[in-house]
């Protein structure tokens, strides 16, 4: 395997164009409603597989219809599903997402998102790849400092490159201090601007990046949404403007960005070329509803980049 993605798998119930004015005592209308597989690990794995990597996923799914839906979608995208842990003790998480006209969104989670999954107990299922991607730090199962360290230690002992996306906390709250021993094991971290601000306490991207670097992370990429992205390590800083695109739904754009970046780094690309490619993957994702709808292939991304230039 080139890449193993580890983290949450779920189903997104996406409601677009919600009208808050009721049409009856208990009824509301929306422009559209759809069911889409999601969760950071799923989004990243599907995107990376479409981009041509050999990809597996380590996650936990319930023995229910939502779990079957996720496995079917992963298989259709070319992701190896043999490492998935199935459980009868919890349901597969389902998230309700409200998408605004400009593509921004709000989500509703529930207790099913807080299941007790221990990926460190399955080191044999992820230690045989060139790289691992944690999607995402600060969310289950990576909202437990001991789990984070155990997984990262196993990965580094196996000589793997570690990519880590991040999310804002929803149940258990960790700080950078809580992960002080784990962060030096991360090769690339990819928070968005809100997440970087929350964890660093800083306002400017360069200052945010410096905080992560001071904690030992080797390379920091801050996703700036409609303003592009910012990269920094001990040797260089890079700012890239956004792609010119009309956004429809930003769901999963950051996950597609992370997968695109990992895809090119594993192909031996420079950081700046990998960032350009990642920018394009995130932009393409926003052109359709759902995290795994718009991105089709690496060739599609390369054609998109040619048109942008």
Contact 10, 66 (CB under 8 A): yes
Per DSSP bridges, beta strands 229-233 and 219-223 are antiparallel
Does the structural domain 3-18+31-302 have CATH classification 3.60.15.10? no
Is the bond preceding residue 136 a cis peptide, omega within 30 degrees?
yes
Answer whether the bond into residue 92 is a cis peptide, omega within 30°: no
**Torsion region of 191: left, alpha or beta (phi above 0 gives left; psi -120 to 50 gives alpha):** beta
Tell me the per-residue pLDDT of 84-123, one tens digit each, with 9 for 90 and over.
999 888 899 998 989 887 767 788 888 887 777 899 999 9
Grouping H, G, I as helix, E, B as strand and the rest as coil, residue 30 is: strand
Question: Could you tell me the residue ranges of all domains in the chain?
Answer: 3-18+31-302
Count other C-beta atoms under 10 Å from residue 22's C-beta: 10
Report the distance separating Cα 89 and Cα 87, nearest Å: 5
Spatial distance between the Cα atoms of 276 and 264, rounded to a whole number of angstroms? 10
**Helix ranges (DSSP H) in 141-296:** 145-157, 193-200, 205-214, 253-266, 271-285
Q: In tens digits, what is the pLDDT along the chain, a chain of 309 residues?
A: 999 999 989 998 989 888 889 999 889 999 999 898 988 999 999 999 999 999 999 999 999 999 999 999 999 999 999 999 998 888 999 989 898 877 677 888 888 877 778 999 999 999 999 999 998 899 989 999 999 999 999 999 999 999 999 999 988 899 999 999 999 999 999 999 999 999 999 999 999 999 999 999 999 999 998 899 999 999 999 999 999 888 888 888 999 999 999 999 999 999 999 999 999 999 999 998 777 889 999 999 999 999 987
**Number of other residues whose CB lies within 10 A of the CB of residue 100:** 13
Are the C-beta atoms of residues 38 and 291 closer than 8 Å to each other?
yes
Token pair, residue 84, equals: 């998935």
Q: Which of 99, 103, 107, 96 is nearest to 16 (CA)?
A: 99
DSSP state of 135: E
Distances (CA, A) of 31 to 60, 94, 100: 32, 20, 10
């Amino acid at each position: 395997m080139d890449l193993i993605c580890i983290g949450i798998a779920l189903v997104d119930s996406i409601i677009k164009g919600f009208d808050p004015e009721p049409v009856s005592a208990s009824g509301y209308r929306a422009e559209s409603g759809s069911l889409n597989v999601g969760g950071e690990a799923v989004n990243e794995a599907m995107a990376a597989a479409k981009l041509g990597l050999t990809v597996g996923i380590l996650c936990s799914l319930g023995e229910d219809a939502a779990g079957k839906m996720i496995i079917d979608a992963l298989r259709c995208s070319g992701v190896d599903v043999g490492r998935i842990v199935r459980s009868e003790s919890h349901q597969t998480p389902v998230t309700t997402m409200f998408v605004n006209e400009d593509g921004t969104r709000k989500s509703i989670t529930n207790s099913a998102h807080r299941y007790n999954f221990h990926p460190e107990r399955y080191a044999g299922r992820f230690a045989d790849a060139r790289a691992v991607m944690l999607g995402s730090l600060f969310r289950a199962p990576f909202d437990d400092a001991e789990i984070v360290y155990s997984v990262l230690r196993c990965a580094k002992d196996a000589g793997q490159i570690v990519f880590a996306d991040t999310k804002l906390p929803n149940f258990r709250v960790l700080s950078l201090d809580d992960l002080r021993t784990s962060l030096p094991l991360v090769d690339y971290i990819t928070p968005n601007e809100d997440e970087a601000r929350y964890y660093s306490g800083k306002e400017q991207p360069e200052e945010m990046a410096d905080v992560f670097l001071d904690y030992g992370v080797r390379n920091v990429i801050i996703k700036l949404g409609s303003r592009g992205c910012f990269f920094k390590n001990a040797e260089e800083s890079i700012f890239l403007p956004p792609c010119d695109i009309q956004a429809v739904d930003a769901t999963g754009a950051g996950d597609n960005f992370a997968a695109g970046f990992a895809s090119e780094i594993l192909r031996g690309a420079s950081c700046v070329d990998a960032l350009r490619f990642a920018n394009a993957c995130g932009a393409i994702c926003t052109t359709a509803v759902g995290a795994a709808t718009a991105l089709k292939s690496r060739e599609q991304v390369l054609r998109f980049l040619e048109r942008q230039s």
